[in-house]
Homo-oligomer: A and B are copies of this chain.
Amino acid sequence: MAERSQDSLVAVVMAGGRGTRFWPHSRNARPKQFLAIAGTETLLHQTVRRLDGHVPPERIFVVTTEDLAAETRRMLPELPAENVIVEPEGRNTAPCLALALVQIERKVPGGVMAVLSADHWIGDREIFLEDLDLAVDHAQSAHELVTFGIRPTYPETGYGYIESEGKGPVLQVKAFREKPPADVAMEYLESGRHYWNAGMFVWTLADFREGLEKHAPDVLAPLDAWTAAGAEPSALAAAYGQLPKVAIDVALMEKAGTVAVVPTRFRWSDVGSWPAAIEFHQADSEGNVTRGDTLLLDTHNSAFFGGKRLIAASGVENLIVVDADDALLICHRDRAQTVKQIVERLQAEGRADLL
Which chain B residues lie closer than 8 Å to A297 at the CB level? 335, 338, 341-342, 345
Are A311 and B328 within 8 A (Cβ)? Answer: yes
A212 within 8 A of B: no
Q: A319-B316, A334-B315, A338-B297 are in contact. Are A328 and B309 (CB under 8 A)?
A: yes
A352 within 8 A of B: no
Write the nearest CB–CB distance from A319 to chain B, whole angstroms.
7
Q: Which of B315, B321, B329 contacts A338 (CB 8 A)?
A: B315
Are A24 and B338 within 8 A (Cβ)? Answer: no
Are B295 and A346 within 8 A (Cβ)? Answer: yes
Complex formed: what's the CA distance from A354 to B294 in Å? 13
Are A345 and B315 within 8 A (Cβ)? Answer: no
Are A312 and B327 within 8 A (Cβ)? Answer: yes
Number of interface residues of A (CB under 8 A): 36
Q: A315-B338, A338-B315 are in contact. Are A310 and B295 (CB under 8 A)?
A: no
A323 within 8 A of B: yes
A330 within 8 A of B: yes
Which chain B residues lie closer than 8 Å to A334 at the CB level? 315
With CB as the reference atom, state the residue of chain B lying closest to A299: B330
Which chain B residues lie closer than 8 Å to A311 at the CB level? 327-328, 330
Tell me the A190-211 residues at the B interface (CB within 8 Å). none
Complex formed: what's the CA distance from A297 to B345 in Å? 10
Complex formed: what's the CA distance from A315 to B341 in Å? 12
Q: Which of B316, B326, B342 contacts A295 (CB 8 A)?
A: B342
Complex formed: what's the CA distance from A40 to B272 in Å? 43
A298 within 8 A of B: yes
Tell me the A295-310 residues at the B interface (CB within 8 Å). 295, 297-298, 308-310
Which chain B residues lie closer than 8 Å to A327 at the CB level? 309-312
Are A316 and B331 within 8 A (Cβ)? Answer: yes
Q: What 8 A-B pairs come out closest when comparing CB atoms?
A: A315-B332, A315-B335, A310-B327, A314-B338, A313-B330, A314-B331, A314-B335, A312-B342
**What are 19 contact pairs spanning A and B, CB under 8 A?**
A24-B310, A295-B342, A297-B335, A297-B338, A298-B338, A308-B326, A309-B325, A310-B328, A310-B354, A311-B328, A312-B327, A312-B330, A312-B342, A314-B330, A314-B332, A314-B335, A315-B334, A315-B338, A321-B330
Task: Give me the interface of A with B, judged by CB distance under 8 Å.
Answer: 23-24, 295, 297-298, 308-316, 319, 321, 323-332, 334-335, 338-339, 341-342, 345-346, 351, 354
Given A309-B326, A310-B354, 19 more A-B residue pairs with CB atoms under 8 Å apart are A23-B312, A24-B310, A298-B338, A308-B326, A309-B324, A309-B328, A310-B326, A310-B327, A310-B328, A311-B328, A312-B329, A313-B330, A314-B332, A314-B341, A314-B342, A315-B332, A315-B334, A315-B338, A321-B330
